[in-house]
Each structure stands twice: as C-alpha cells, then as structure tokens.
Structure 1
C-alpha cells in the first residue's frame, strides 16, 4: 500500500506543478488554489509512504519520476523545445531511479 501512496504523491506533485504553470504567476484563481491542494495531497501521501519505504528510495522515485513526468508534459502539452540532450537526460533520471531501487 505504501507504493500506492508514493505514486499518488507523484501524480499530485506533477498536477500541482502543472497548475503552477496554468496559474500564470498566481493571476488565475482556480489553478492557484489547486497548487496548494495538490501539494498538500502530495506531501501527505509521501509522508505516509515513507513509513514503510526507505526515505532514499521514496524521495528518489518521487523527485525523479516527477521530474521526468513534468518534463514530458512540458514537451507534449506546453510545446517546450525538445532535443536529444533533453530526452537523454530524462532517460538518465529514470535509470538513476531504477538503480536506487535495485537491492
């Protein structure tokens, strides 16, 4: 169940970051409120997850997959420029997360 909470934390964090972009510097009310809601869910879920998952693994997965997901959203949804280095860097992050999970 801890892994479910961890993945909920990741999805909530990515949603919160996306809302940051959509809030246009806190000028749009609903995305601005959503930032705090989704970060509250994310941090609460992460706190529950680290009861059973090692903090080093949980934080690496949370931050690594969150970074990879938001970079992908930036490319696909916000039409950010993409190049080989950006794609390779996302891959390296994912490899690092996998490496920390190997026991």
Structure 2
C-alpha cells in the first residue's frame, strides 16, 4: 500500500537522472526556518508493515537555505519580505 506523500526510489532516481551528476547534493530542512544540510548517509530497511524504506540522513548543517530554493519548494511566498526602515537621528524637537 502506497501513501500519497511517498516518493519511491525509482521516482527519486528519475528526478535525479535529469540533473548534473557532478552537482553537490544537499537536504532542504524545516520550511519555517529553512536550512541546508549535507547528506550523511543512505540507509535501507523495512518498516513495521514490511515495506522497504530508504532513509536519507542529514549530516552537518551548512547554513540557511537560499531564498530562491525556499520559494521553489513553496515554503516561502514568491515575494521579498518587508524592508526595515533605516534608523536615523530623530528630528530635533522645536519646543526644546
């Protein structure tokens, strides 16, 4: 029985086969605070239902996920965030 959120190894290989084989592989983690992680390992096992499952383990955190990646994953809207107003000197109070 397949769950609608499940991606098979075959699906993943098909997606990767269209890409540059020399490209660096990273994991995008946590849509609310998007970070980039190195891939540490790939482990195959079976779940409680006897299905074959492959886990991709994250390794060391690399840093923030580029905003373009977060947008393409639909984790962030396709807009720029509000810009902070610059803090400057307050105008002099003419009554003082």
Same fold (TM over 0.5): no
Greater length-normalized contact order (CA 8 Å, ≥ 6 residues apart): 1
Which structure has more helix as a fraction of its residues?
1
TM-score, scaled relative to structure 2: 0.25
Which protein has the larger Cα radius of gyration, Structure 1 or Structure 2?
Answer: 2
TM-score, scaled relative to structure 1: 0.24
